[in-house]
């Protein structure tokens, strides 16, 4: 009986570690390395009120000040093909887990910029 409980506890810990991975990756990122890797991102995500025309007109979000875990998750979803924006899927496909963590740390370290009124 105690062996079964021990196995259940071990499985629960393993399950929790697996689902905590995006948050851990965000914490492991290096903001300085992320800044050096962000040039491709800045062309769209650092321009106020920027909209793309491909594949449709789309308002590009500003990501400075966004939570690192959100950025990690979003980039992982683009890389896996679960998010459909073709430009972001192509960009994310070339990113390593370390690149993603670094970019997330960099953008999370920026001050939040609110929309102009």
* Separation of alpha carbons 9 and 13, rounded Å: 6
Quick check: is 114 in a domain? no
Task: Assess if residue 101 is contained within a domain.
Answer: yes
Q: Is residue 96 part of a domain?
A: yes
| Model confidence, pTM | 0.69
The set of residues, in sequence order, having a beta carbon less than 8 Å from that of 115 and lying 6+ positions away, is: none
Residue 115 domain flag: no
Judge residue 74's burial from the number of C-beta atoms within 10 Å of its C-beta, 0-12 exposed, 13-18 middle, 19 or more buried: buried
- Chain centroid, CA 58 distance in Å: 19
The number of distinct structural domains making up the chain is 1
Per-residue pLDDT of the chain (117 residues; tens, 9 = 90+): 555 666 656 555 655 555 555 555 445 899 999 999 999 898 888 878 777 777 777 788 889 999 999 999 999 999 999 998 898 999 999 999 999 999 999 999 987 766 554
Output the domain CATH number for residue 54.
1.10.760.10
Element (H, E) at 52: strand 51-52
Residue span of the structural domain in which 79 resides: 2-109
Residue 99 forms part of a structural domain: yes
């Amino acid at each position: 009986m105690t062996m079964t409980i021990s196995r259940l506890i071990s499985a629960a810990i393993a399950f929790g570690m697996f689902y905590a991975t995006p948050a851990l990756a965000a914490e492991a990122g290096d903001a300085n390395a992320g800044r050096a890797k962000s040039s491709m991102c800045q062309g769209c995500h650092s321009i106020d009120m920027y909209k793309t025309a491909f594949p449709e007109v789309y308002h590009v979000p500003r990501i400075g000040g966004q939570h690192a875990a959100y950025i990690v998750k979003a980039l992982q979803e683009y890389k896996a093909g679960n998010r459909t924006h073709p430009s972001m899927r192509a960009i994310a496909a070339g990113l390593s887990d370390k690149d993603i963590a670094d970019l997330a740390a960099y953008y999370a370290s920026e001050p939040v910029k609110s929309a102009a009124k």
